[in-house]
Amino acid sequence: MTVAVASGKGGTGKTTIAVSLALSREEPATLLDCDVEEPNAHLFLHPSIEETRPVELLVPEVDAALCTGCGACSRACRFHAIVTLGTEPLVFPELCHACGGCALACPTRAIREVPFRIGVVERGRAGALAFAQGRLDVGRAMAVPVIRALRSTRQEGAGFTVIDAPPGTSCPVVASVRGTDVVLLVTEPTPFGLNDLVLAVGMVRSLGIPFGVLINRSDIGDAAVRDYCAGEGIPVLLELVEDRRIAEAYSRGVPALGAVPELAPRFRLLAESLAGLASGRSVAVSA
Amino acid sequence: MTIAITAKAEGLGAEVDLRFGRASWFVLYDTETKTARTVDNRQSLNTASGAGIQAAETVSREGARCLITGHCGPNAFRALSSAGIKVYNGAAGTVADAVAAFAQGILKEASSADVAGHW
């Protein structure tokens, strides 16, 4: 089973929850950190990285000897990654989505596609846990291809896999969540948490993936998130109160379960609830 | 010759927009006829990246040979140079002020980008 841990709002505790879910397992598990713009699960898992692979896109390169400057390539590109303003096209590889459309459009076959590195996928282990993360290079904007490369790993789908998704509801989040068996939306009971939860629920519903909510720091804020979930028939699978021990452990790079081991059974129950949602069964909700 | 000036509103009385790619408007001033028209660039607000390149395409299509703005980033500068458009940074005040400063030779032609992308 593959569980994506996502949220609309950033800073709700996605990584803390994803790491706890993975570490609470008694059988082998895998964690994939898909927040490739700033992967941070490694700060708590301290994995040994055994393999690093570059992620490359194929971007256009123009052969000036063959180019007539007709601009067909630029008209084919909706991302302005290849523009023809003078006599021959200019390529902006950091804007290229690597669709290959410009090369197809070129009537003189003046464009060939060349590799352009945008990041890496790193794999390794953290104790019994298989670990992999994507890392987008500084100055690059294309997170989605790095996430796809990370998720094409053989590790996903083998046993219990937890995906730590980026925050928000945009393309990198969709790339992290699509095709998983169940999504856990982590939120906090505040107006900001609710606003972004509603957006995230819309995204997950349109992807057609079963999902439940975890309310983190459940003893702050107001009742609006609970009211919203009740009104929408969304299961609240777990509520965790604010706990200074978890925050102190976090600041030292220690997982929440390292500081509060008695939470482990609650995370195992959470995993059972998620498995129930994934299989379409009704779930036992532990509030 | 047509010069493009980045502007926060339409017409010569508008305030100069210091940004190029994400300026709301481009005022196009014809130095021969001394007339101005304005082109809408507000769609750039919906663009995540590539706004400077897109803006360079717009001013090039509108026939500008010079651009007057506040600052110009590397992608925009590269695209403008390729189109043969000269860049004059450091404009301030109204569009009419910028045109006057340009005519008096107060604005200097830039030889490279003066800010990083997404400044």
| pLDDT exceeds 80 at position A142 | yes
- Contact residues, A window 266-285, toward B, CB-based 8 Å cutoff: none
- Contact residues, A window 54-73, toward B, CB-based 8 Å cutoff: none
Q: How many CA atoms lie within 13 A of B27 on its CB side?
A: 26
Q: How far is CA B83 from CA A208, B64, B109, in A?
A: 47, 10, 15
Residue A86's pLDDT is what? 82
Q: Confirm if A64 and A84 have CB atoms less than 8 A apart.
A: no
CA distance B67 to chain A (A): 15
Residue A283's pLDDT is what? 57
Q: Confirm if A265 and A277 have CB atoms less than 8 A apart.
A: no
For residues A166-190, give the mean pLDDT. Answer: 96
A75 contacts in chain B (CB < 8 Å)? none
Alpha helices in chain A (DSSP H): 14-23, 42-45, 72-76, 101-105, 143-151, 171-177, 191-207, 224-232, 244-251, 256-259, 264-278
B77 contacts in chain A (CB < 8 Å)? none
Strand A236-240 vs strand A82-83: parallel, antiparallel, or unpaired?
unpaired
If we measure between CA atoms, which residue out of A225, A178, A166 comes closest to residue A204?
A178
pTM over 0.95: no
| pLDDT exceeds 90 at position A58 | yes
Residue of A nearest to B118 (CA): A139
Put simply, the answer to whether A81 touches B50 (Cβ < 8 Å) is: yes
pLDDT tens for each residue of A85-118: 988 899 999 899 999 999 999 999 999 999 999 9
Provide the terminal-to-terminal Cα distance of chain A, rounded to the nearest Å: 23
The DSSP secondary structure of A21-58, one letter per residue, reads HHHT-SS-EEEEE--TTS--THHHH-PEEEEEEEEEEE
Which residue among A79, A83, A94 sits closest to B79, beta carbon to beta carbon? A83
Put simply, the answer to whether B83 touches A86 (Cβ < 8 Å) is: yes
CA distance B38 to chain A (A): 21
Mutate to test the interface with B, among A74, A75, A84, A85 (most CBs of B within 10 A): A85
ipTM over 0.90: no
| pLDDT exceeds 70 at position A156 | no
Residue A139's pLDDT is what? 86
- Contact residues, B window 29-88, toward A, CB-based 8 Å cutoff: 48-50, 53-54, 56-57, 60, 75, 78-80, 82-84
| pLDDT exceeds 60 at position A286 | no
For residues A255-271, give the mean pLDDT. Answer: 96
- Contact residues, A window 92-121, toward B, CB-based 8 Å cutoff: 92, 94-95
| pLDDT exceeds 50 at position A287 | no
Q: Is A159 left (phi over 0), alpha (psi -120 to 50) or beta?
A: left
A141 contacts in chain B (CB < 8 Å)? 48-49
Q: For chain B, list residues with pLDDT below 70.
A: none
Q: Which two tokens stand for residue A85?
A: 């303003």
pLDDT tens for each residue of A25-42: 988 899 999 999 999 999
CA distance B101 to chain A (A): 27
Q: CA A277: distance to chain centroid?
A: 20
Q: Confirm if A111 and A60 have CB atoms less than 8 A apart.
A: yes
For residues A201-228, give the mean pLDDT. Answer: 97
Residue A228's pLDDT is what? 98
Alpha-carbon dihedral sign for residues B97, B103, B105, B109 = positive
A90 contacts in chain B (CB < 8 Å)? 78-79, 82
Q: Confirm if B75 and B53 have CB atoms less than 8 A apart.
A: yes
Residue of B nearest to A74 (CA): B57
